[in-house]
Amino acid sequence: MELTLGKLPPEVLQKYLIGMTGAPSLALLVPPSIGVDFGVIKHGNVRLVVSSDPVTGVKEKVGWYAVNVSANDVATSGNRPEFMQSIILLPEDATVATVARISGEMHRTAAALGITIVGGHTEVTPGLGRPIVITTAFAFGGAFVTAADAKDGDTVMLTKSAAVEGTAICGSNEHSLGRGADARMVRRARGFYRKLSIVEEAVAAFRTGKVHAMHDCTEGGVLGAVYEMSYASNLGFELFGAKVPIAKETAYVCSRLSLDPLRLISSGALLLAVEPGAEAEVSKAVRATGSRATVVGSFRKGERLLVGRDGKTEVVAEPPTDELWKLVDARGI
């Protein structure tokens, strides 16, 4: 079986990775599972939430992205990330200026989020076309939720809009948009990287006590995140494409590049499984952080369905491949 770019298929993960966890431990409360992006370790009355993430498809602001992606995953537990480690792998043409740029971005981003970087490893690695940065974020807390805790009948809510990260990436690679691209719109799209953090809105939503599960919309976009949550929770879903907010900048770059915003990497957009009837309360809590939350569907038993903007219903039989890989493969983003 050949593997394609991006996340491994669920069947490969299940067979070759999920159960390969070394020595068993009663302290491990949340073991590796598909759709759940962090582990939880019990130590006395404290819960340690841990998550690792790589940044592989970005050339610009890789340090900013690297801090945010693993911090976001930890925050979907409802706990604020506090510490972080990093691995920085540099291509052979890297310079000291490259190191300074990445480390500076990571320092400023972590400081803004209240995260302390405690160590890691940096090296020049043969065979790389761009820097790859891997971060591991840590949080200490008590209560938590996971992406596997959605319940039958829960409302699906989405913060911000679809393809936040994908919009920033496409806007940062103006050459890929072709001649005649609207410079103002491209500049606005590029600025979407400032929306990448979901830490504040995740913590605020969790504190309402009405959120059963949360998931950061990373690779595979909004549709991929809904699929992963439903898979982890052993549920189906109904996602209404017409209800998913799509910013005009996102619509513009996706139109120029023939990309589907629902399947484009969406870090910065948080997916919530909300107790029915509590949508207004959760929306108010998220709004207080400067973000917004929109009802886009529901979790339920049965099939996984996407109702398109044209009203046609599609059965989502497998997790989508992220649209960004089309550009990485064809245009070298």
Q: How many domains does the chain have?
A: 2
CB 166 within 8 A of CB 189: no
- How far is CA 299 from each of CA 233, 236, 305, 315, rounded to the nearest angstrom? 9, 6, 10, 14
Q: Retrieve residue 105's tokens.
A: 């971005």
Residue 178: inside a domain: yes
Residues 196 and 63 in one domain: no
**Number of helices (H), then strands (E), in the chain:** 10, 13
Residues 164 and 31 in one domain: no
Q: Is the pTM of this model over 0.85?
A: yes
φ/ψ of residue 223, rounded to 5: -65, -40
Query: What mean pLDDT do residues 176-183 have?
Result: 83
Tens digit of pLDDT for each residue in 110-132? Answer: 999 999 999 999 999 999 999 99
| Distance, C-alpha 69 to centroid of its chain | 6
Q: Which CATH number do you get for residue 180?
A: 3.90.650.10
Residue 43: strand, helix, or coil: strand
| Distance, C-alpha 317 to centroid of its chain | 21
Residues 186 and 324 in one domain: yes
Residue 3: inside a domain: no
- Could you tell me the residue range of the domain that residue 131 belongs to? 10-141
202 closest CA partner among 47, 49, 32: 49
Q: Cα(268)–Cα(36) distance, rounded to whole angstroms?
A: 17
Residue 299: inside a domain: yes
Q: Retrieve residue 165's tokens.
A: 């990260």
CB 220 within 8 A of CB 8: no
φ/ψ of residue 28, rounded to 5: -85, 105
Question: What pLDDT score was predicted for residue 58?
Answer: 76
Domain-ending residue, one of 90, 118, 141:
141
φ/ψ of residue 263, rounded to 5: -115, 10
Residues 132 and 177 in one domain: no
Residues 207 and 321 in one domain: yes
Residue 99: inside a domain: yes
> Is residue 174 pLDDT above 90, yes or no?
no
Sole residue written with tokens 């910013």: 247
Residue 1: inside a domain: no
Q: Cα(286)–Cα(167) distance, rounded to whole angstroms?
A: 22
Residues 39 and 151 in one domain: no
- DSSP for 108-152 reads HHHHHHTPEEEEEEEEE-TT-SS-EEEEEEEEEES----GGG--T
Residues 164 and 295 in one domain: yes
Q: Cα(160)–Cα(198) distance, rounded to whole angstroms?
A: 9
Question: What pLDDT score was predicted for residue 330?
Answer: 52
Domain-ending residue, one of 89, 112, 141:
141
Residues 101 and 165 in one domain: no
Q: Over the chain, what is the mean pLDDT?
A: 93
Q: Cα(290)–Cα(288) distance, rounded to whole angstroms?
A: 5
Residue 36: inside a domain: yes
> Is residue 206 pLDDT above 80, yes or no?
yes
Q: Cα(198)–Cα(268) distance, rounded to whole angstroms?
A: 5
Residues 296 and 161 in one domain: yes
Tens digit of pLDDT for each residue in 27-47? Answer: 999 999 988 989 999 999 999
Residues 155 and 135 in one domain: no
Question: What pLDDT score was predicted for residue 187?
Answer: 93
Residues 154 and 274 in one domain: yes
Query: What mean pLDDT do residues 211-219 have?
Result: 95
Query: What mean pLDDT do residues 311-329 have?
Result: 88
Q: Cα(104)–Cα(91) distance, rounded to whole angstroms?
A: 18
> Is residue 234 pLDDT above 70, yes or no?
yes
Please return the burial class of 227, using the count of CB atoms within 10 Å of its CB with bins 0-12, 13-18 and 19+.
buried
232 closest CA partner among 17, 32, 7: 32
Residue 231: inside a domain: yes
> Is residue 64 pLDDT above 80, yes or no?
yes
Q: Which CATH number do you get for residue 21?
A: 3.30.1330.10
CA quadruple 217, 221, 222, 225: dihedral positive or negative?
A: negative
Residues 295 and 154 in one domain: yes
Higher pLDDT, 72 or 330: 72
> Is residue 279 pLDDT above 60, yes or no?
yes
Question: What pLDDT score was predicted for residue 132?
Answer: 96
Sole residue written with tokens 């909300």: 274
> Is residue 171 pLDDT above 80, yes or no?
yes
Residue 98: inside a domain: yes
Cα dihedral 247/251/253/255 (nearest 10): 180
Domain-ending residue, one of 110, 141, 172:
141
> Is residue 8 pLDDT above 70, yes or no?
yes
